[in-house]
Each structure stands twice: as structure tokens, then as C-alpha cells.
């Protein structure tokens, strides 16, 4: 709370834009539409105001989707690189993530959010087969 009051940390909501040392950062919506913790209750409700980010630096636009499903707001994204969740359960499945990137067409997509709590590398590999954009699967060192 002290850091928030000091301005070192800024609380953002979907639609907010900030600039930090030349990097333009836009908070974009991230929420679930079909991943439920119990009947009728999604894991990440839109009303919570959770966010992903579009970061622009030196003319390159990078999208970090956050914890989200394929949502309508993604359709108009204009990004070069997309970091996109693929593990299902709390976020998009590999199939849903492929549908998302096939819609907004980044130059490169990087699957994420698999292998720690849920999902595994097979989710990333399935995403790569279905995506109609270049996909880079990062390996742990």
C-alpha cells in the first residue's frame, strides 16, 4: 500500500495506458467466459477487472494475455508477439488459443501457462500444430 501511495506502483484497470522509460503499456481485459470454479461462477470474472498487457517498445508490440479465455476484445489486437495461455482449466485450451491467434494474427505466438499447476508441453505442441502463425515454444534451461 505504501508503494502504491508513493506512485512507485500504479494500479491499472482495462483500458489504462502508462509510459515507463519509453515503453508504452496498455492494460487490456483478461477474463473467463467458459472456465468455471463452480456452476455459473468463472475463475476470473470480467467484473474483477483483471488485465493482460500490450507493451510497445521500439515499435514492437508484445501482448501478454494474462489469465483469460478467448474474449471478444482480442479480435482487434494489433501485436507482433503474443504470449498466450494454453493449458485449459483456468485459461484457454490449446484449441481456443489457436483460434484466438488465428483471429488477431500476431507475427509470433509463444504458448505459456502450462506445466506448473495444470497442463504440460503437449498443450503447447497441440497449439503449435493448430496455429496459423509462427509459434515458438520456449524451453526451460
The enclosing domain of 50 has a CATH number of: 3.60.15.10
**Total of domains in the chain:** 1
Task: Write out the residue range of the structural domain in which residue 84 sits.
Answer: 11-135
> 59-75 burial, b if ≥16 CB within 10 A, otherwise e?
eebbbbbbbbbbbebbe
Does residue 124 carry a pLDDT above 70?
Answer: yes
Whether 1 is covered by a domain: the verdict is no
* pLDDT score recorded for residue 1: 64
Lowest mean pLDDT across 8-12, 37-41, 70-74? 8-12
**What are the tens digits of pLDDT across the range 74-97?**
999 999 999 999 999 999 999 999
Contacts of 73 (CB under 8 A, 6+ apart): 14, 28, 29
Whether 4 is covered by a domain: the verdict is: no
pTM over 0.85: yes
Amino acid at each position: 500500500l505504501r508503494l502504491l501511495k508513493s506512485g512507485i506502483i500504479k494500479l491499472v484497470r482495462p483500458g489504462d495506458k502508462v509510459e515507463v522509460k519509453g515503453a508504452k503499456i496498455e492494460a487490456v481485459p483478461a477474463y473467463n467466459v467458459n472456465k468455471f470454479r463452480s456452476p455459473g461462477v468463472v475463475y476470473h470474472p470480467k467484473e474483477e477487472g483483471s488485465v493482460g498487457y500490450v507493451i510497445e517498445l521500439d515499435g514492437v508490440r508484445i501482448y501478454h494475455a494474462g489469465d483469460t479465455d478467448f474474449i471478444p476484445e482480442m479480435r482487434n489486437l494489433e501485436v507482433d508477439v503474443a504470449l498466450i495461455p494454453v493449458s485449459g482449466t483456468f485459461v484457454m485450451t490449446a484449441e481456443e488459443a489457436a483460434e484466438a491467434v488465428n483471429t488477431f494474427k500476431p507475427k509470433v505466438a509463444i504458448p505459456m501457462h502450462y506445466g506448473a499447476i495444470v497442463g504440460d508441453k503437449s498443450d503447447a505442441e497441440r497449439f503449435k500444430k493448430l496455429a496459423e502463425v509462427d509459434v515458438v515454444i520456449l524451453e526451460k534451461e
